[in-house]
Structure 1
Amino acid sequence: MKDELKTELRRSWDLAAIIGMSLLLALFIYLIPDNPGRIVLGLPFILFFPGYALIATLFPEKKSLDLIERIALSFGLSIAVAPLIGFGLNYTPFGIRLEPILWSLIAFNIALSALGMWRRSTSSEPFLPFVPKDLWAKVGKEFHGESKLDKALTVILVIAILSSVISLAYVVAMPKQGEQFTEFYILNREGKTVNYPNNLTVGEPGEVIIGIANHEERSVNYTIEVWLVNATYANNITTINELYFVENISVGVLEHMPANTEGNWTKQWEQDYNFTVPSPGQYKIWFVLLKDGQPYGGNSMTDLAGDAAAVEAFLSRISSKDYLTLNLNLRVT
C-alpha cells in the first residue's frame, strides 16, 4: 500500500505540489504576511492552480489534450474560476474578504487535485506530469509538428498569457496607493452617534467625544478649532449674528494608520470635550479640523460678529474643501 502511494505521488507530483503549495501559501499569509513568498505563490495560486486541477479532473487521458493546450486552458479556467468563487461568496455570510477567498480556493485546489489523482489512477493512458528537464524538448517537438496557422495561434496565446502574468505581477508588486483621507467624527458621551446634547440651558455643560484617525499615507499635525455661532440663512446668504471663537485643541502629530476594511474598526485618537453656552438662543457649535495648518489666534469667547476678518476666516473654513468640519445644532434656554 505504501509503495502504491509513492508510485501514485510520483505519477501525480504536479497535483501533489499544488496541494502542498496552496497550504504553504496559507502559512505565509498568517505567519509572515510581508514575505515575498506570498506574492510568488499567490500568483500561480490564483492564475494557474485552479484551472490545472480542473483540467486534470476533466481530461485525465493523455490523448484528450496536449501539453500546450493544458497549460493554456489552465490559465484561462483559473481566471474564470476565481471570480466565480468570489461571486458565490458574496451571497454567503462570509462575504468577499481575504480569509473566505483564500480558504475557498485552497479547498477547491485540494479537492480537484485529489479527484484528478484518482481519475489518473483509473485511466488506461493517463496524462502524466512532464519531467522538467524534458519539458522544453517536448514542447518544441509538439510546436514544430503543428501547422503554420496553429503555430501562429500558439505564439499569440503564449504572448497573451505572459503579458497577463507580467501585468498582474506588476500590479501586485507596485500597488496603487489607496485613497488618502482623515476620519473626523463626534460621538455622544456614551460613544454613540445618537442623542447628542442639542438642548441645553445657559451654563449647562454639553459633553461629546471628538475622534480622529489618520489615513493620509503620511504623518499629519492636527488642530481642531471650536467655534460657537448664531447665524441665519436666507436667499442663500449667511448672516452671522453672533460669532465666538472658543478655543484651539492641539491634537499633535498622528502617524498614518492603515484603514481596516476587513476586521473590526479601531480608534486612533479620541478626546472627551465639554462646552457651555453663555446666553440663550439657537446656535451651532462648529469643530474645524486643520491638517498642518495655522490655527486662528483670536480672543476666546469674544463676540466677533462685527469683525469682518474673523467672520471671513470662519466662513472660508466651513466652506473650503481643505478643511473638515462637523457641527451640532444647539437650542439653549
Structure 2
Amino acid sequence: MDEPRGLWRYWDLLAIIGLSILLDILIYAFPDSIVRKILGLAFVLFFPGYVFITALFPEKKELDDLERLALSFGLSIAIVPMIGLALNYTSWGIRLTPILVSLTLFNLIFSTIAIYRRKTAIKPWIPWTTLEDMKRELGWESASGLDKALTVVLIIAIVTSVGVLAYVVTHPKPGEAFTEFYILGPNGKASDYPTELLVEENATVIIGIVNHEHRNVTYYVQIWLVNLTWDKGTNTTVIHEMYPMPGWFNVTLHPIPVNIEGNWTPEFEKRYTFRIDRPGKWQLWFLLFKDHQPELPPAPSDGNYAKTDAKNLILKAINGTIQSLKLNIYVHE
C-alpha cells in the first residue's frame, strides 16, 4: 500500500491536537458529557505518551507497533504525575484548569516536534490505516504460534486495563458523606459573636447547614442553655442547669457536591435571635440531628432538664458523638 501523502502523513498527530482542543471545549461547555469522560481517559492515559514516543522515535525501524502502543500507555502514566508534581510547586497548584492547560500544551508541543521529526525521517513510522496494514506491520502471517499468542494476550491486557480504568472514571466512588454545621456572628462573619450580654438583652447569630450526604436529609436543630462545670476530683462534667431555648427548627436540604475549585457558597442559613433571662456563665449549645431527633423526657416543673436523661445529649455533644456547636456567654445583671 502506498505511503500516505500530504497531511495524511500526520493524521494521528493532527487528530491528537484536535481532540485535545475539543476536550478543553467540552470540559467547560458540557462538563457532564459522557464524551468528555471517554476523551478525557485518552487525553490522560494515551496522548502524552504517544506524542512523546513519536517525537523520540520517528523512524519505522526503531520500534514496532505493539511496542509503541505499550510505551504510549506506560509513558503517559509516568508523564502526567510528573506534570502534576511540577504544578504543585507553582502558584497555580494541582487544579483542573492548570492541569488541562499543561497537558494540552504538552500534547501540542510534542505533536509539533513529532510532525517535524516524521517529515525529516528517512523511512518514517506512520500508523496503519487498515486492518491489512496492521497485520503486515505486526508480521502476523510469518509469526510463530507463540508470538501470535503473546500478541493476543498483550492486546487483551491493554484493552482490559483501559476498560477497567474507563469504568472507574465513569463510575467514581462517592466521596465522604458529611454535613457542614456552623454559626456566624450577626454580620455573617466568623467573628463578633455575642459572648457578653445583659439580662434580657437580644443577641443574634446565624446558623448554617450544608448537606454533603449524597441524599436528601431532614435536619433538626435543638438549642439549649446550659450551666456546667468540670469536676476535677471525678474527671466528669457536671450539668447544673439545662433549659430548652425557643427557636428549635427543622429543614430538609438537597445534597450538593463539594466544590474545591470555585468559591464556597452557603446552602441554608437562618438568623437566630435570643435572649437570656438570668445572669451567670452560660453555654448556648446548638445540637444537630439527621432524619429524626431523640425524644425528650417530660418537662420538669421548673423547666430544668439537668436532672433528666436529656443531659446525656450535652454529654454526647461534649464527647463528639453528636454534631454540635456552642457559644460561651457571660450574662451580666
TM over 0.5: yes
1:304 matched residue in structure 2: 304
Which of 64, 74, 77 is the matching residue for 1:76?
74
The CA deviation string for residues 79-122 of structure 1, in whole angstroms up to 9 with x for no partner, is 11111111111111211111111121111111111111011111
**How far is 1:157 from its partner?**
4.0
- Establish whether residue 32 from structure 1 lines up as the match of residue 30 from structure 2: yes
- Establish whether residue 207 from structure 1 lines up as the match of residue 204 from structure 2: yes
The CA deviation string for residues 169-211 of structure 1, in whole angstroms up to 9 with x for no partner, is 1101211011111100011112222332212222222221110
1:3 matched residue in structure 2: none
The answer on whether the counterparts of 1:223 and 1:295 sit within 8 Å (CA) in structure 2 is no
What count of residue pairs does the alignment treat as equivalent?
326
TM alignment of 1:103-142, pairs within 5 A? 103-141=101-139
Q: Secondary structure at the match of 2:116?
A: helix
- Establish whether residue 21 from structure 1 lines up as the match of residue 26 from structure 2: no
The CA deviation string for residues 136-193 of structure 1, in whole angstroms up to 9 with x for no partner, is 4235415854795x66765554344333212211101211011111100011112222
The CA deviation string for residues 60-87 of structure 1, in whole angstroms up to 9 with x for no partner, is 1111111111111111111111111111
**In 2, Cα distance between the equivalents of 1:177 and 1:201?**
48
Q: 1:276 to 1:329 in 2, by over 3 A?
A: same
* Matched letter for residue 170 of structure 1: Y
TM alignment of 1:241-280, pairs within 5 A? 241-280=240-279
**In 2, Cα distance between the equivalents of 1:270 and 1:144?**
74
1:169 matched residue in structure 2: 166
- Establish whether residue 94 from structure 1 lines up as the match of residue 92 from structure 2: yes
TM alignment of 1:142-221, pairs within 5 A? 144-145=142-143, 148=146, 154=151, 157-221=154-218
* Identical counterparts, % of pairs: 47
**In 2, Cα distance between the equivalents of 1:108 and 1:67?**
23
The answer on whether the counterparts of 1:227 and 1:243 sit within 8 Å (CA) in structure 2 is yes
**How far is 1:303 from its partner?**
3.8
The answer on whether the counterparts of 2:223 and 2:247 sit within 8 Å (CA) in structure 1 is yes
Q: 1:135 to 1:34 in 2, by over 3 A?
A: farther
1:282 matched residue in structure 2: 281
**In 2, Cα distance between the equivalents of 1:194 and 1:143?**
78
1:228 matched residue in structure 2: 225
**How far is 1:276 from its partner?**
1.5
Which blocks of at least 5 consecutive residues in structure 1 are unaligned? Answer: 1-5
Q: Secondary structure at the match of 2:206?
A: strand
Q: 1:275 to 1:23 in 2, by over 3 A?
A: same
* Matched letter for residue 213 of structure 1: V
* Matched letter for residue 324 of structure 1: Q
**In 1, Cα distance between the equivalents of 2:160 and 2:301?**
65
**In 2, Cα distance between the equivalents of 1:18 and 1:219?**
42
**In 1, Cα distance between the equivalents of 2:127 and 2:282?**
77
Q: 1:147 to 1:60 in 2, by over 3 A?
A: farther
Q: 1:327 to 1:135 in 2, by over 3 A?
A: farther
**In 2, Cα distance between the equivalents of 1:230 and 1:301?**
18
Q: Secondary structure at the match of 1:282?
A: strand
